[in-house]
Amino acid sequence: MADKRGRGASFRVELDDTTFAEDLAHSTPAGRDAALRKRAAVEQDGQPADELITCDAEARDVTRLPGCFKTRVPWPAGRWGMVYDFRFDENHRPYLAFLAFGVRHHPRDSHALTVYEVASRRLNA
């Protein structure tokens, strides 16, 4: 479906307030600002399909995200990311279910989880 600005296909996003708030609590002020801006944009216009990247079903970092998509926040090269699970509603219309927001890559000595690790844990719990 085309959004109001005619940018092309976009997907409806289902965001869970509790999960989103949990991710914001683990983020920096800059990360929270980026997440809130992204949330406002997808709630208004949906997630643009041309800003989605297919996640590896099984990645080198041992995350498992089959059927999932990621986007960079902000697009195209943001420090943060969002991961979505691709689903169909009761009327067989596709939508994206929010799995996680967070930093895409941490420094090597960090023990914090990346957005992909958080998403994988939630998806495979």
Supply the pLDDT for residue 71: 98
Q: Is residue 106 part of a domain?
A: yes
Residue range of the domain that includes 46:
10-123
CA distance 108 to 47: 31
Q: Is residue 40 part of a domain?
A: yes
Nearest alpha-carbon partner for 38 in 70, 86, 85, 5 = 70
Q: What is the pLDDT of residues 82-113, one digit of tens each?
A: 999 999 999 999 999 999 999 998 767 777 89
- Mean pLDDT over all residues of the chain? 92
Mean pLDDT in residue range 9-35: 96
Higher pLDDT, 17 or 109: 17
Q: Is residue 69 part of a domain?
A: yes
pLDDT above 50: residue 116:
yes
Backbone phi and psi for residue 116, each to the nearest 5 degrees, phi listed first: -70, -40
Domain CATH number, residue 79: 3.30.2310.20
* Domain total of the chain: 1
